[in-house]
Structure 1
Amino acid sequence: MRRIDYVIWYVESLSRSTAFYRDVIGLDVRKEGDGYVEFSLENTKFSLFERSKLPELINREAGRAPCGEIGFIVENVDAEAARLRAAGANILTGPVDRPWRERTLHVADPDGNIVEFAQKL
């Protein structure tokens, strides 16, 4: 295995989470349908899937968030922080310089999943 093909968050409200990742985070929707939304990214697929449709897909319910974190590399974390605050994002930490030579900012999505923005120092 050499790379991750995709990440899917299971969400309570597909419309609410789509609006968050589209309007607050700034991702473009590539495709959507039947409880699924996929965003346009160059290096992987990032998607949302309506939690209520999971029994049809995997024959069971999923655990509750936060289940993990998705990270985006950005050029200027402070500019992202200002943009996210203006958009009404729930900022958890940052911007802060980390010992591993990144400046980071963490926000929560509508389901409590963690979204990190990191700037290489």
Structure 2
Amino acid sequence: MPRIDYVIWFVQSLERSVAFYRDLIGLDVRLEGDGYVEFTMENTKFALFERAKLPELIGRTGGQAPCGEIAFVVNDVDSEAVRLRAAGADILTGPTDRPWRQRTLHVADPDGNVVEFAQNL
């Protein structure tokens, strides 16, 4: 059975997006260089890649966000909501209890990608 090895967001401004995920979300940078920044994660790789460098990588430009969503499981969604609002995050929805037994909060990253925080109920 295949498994997901990594997720990469293609971003307009690497500097702005790294600041968002590092400073606002709280991820630690593990590796960076040549338009790529990877964060320390336990279960997979999560990285950012500068959209302007896509032609070098794949021979064409990429799509525009939002194209998907990344979710982080947290212990307390309400505390995250307070922290993120105070930091000026673009809150999209929540916190909201969902029928699949999670309480969720959705924010937009600097490119408009959807970032979810989910608390298992």
TM-score range, shorter chain: over 0.9
Shift of 1:82: 0.8
Q: Determine the structure 1 residue equivalent to 2:37.
A: 37
Q: Determine the structure 2 residue equivalent to 1:82.
A: 82
Q: Deviations for 1:42-70, whole angstroms, at most 9, x for unmatched residues?
A: 00000000000000000010010001000
Counterpart CA distance in 2 for 1:30 and 1:85 is 27
Counterpart CA distance in 1 for 2:73 and 2:101 is 13
Once the two structures are superposed, the pairs formed by residues 14-93 of structure 1 within 5 Å of their partners are 14-93=14-93
Q: Percent identity?
A: 79
**Unmatched runs of 5 consecutive residues or more in structure 1:** none
Counterpart CA distance in 1 for 2:111 and 2:62 is 13
TM-score, L = length of structure 2 = 0.98
Structure 2 counterpart of 1:9, which letter? W
Question: Aligned pair count?
Answer: 121
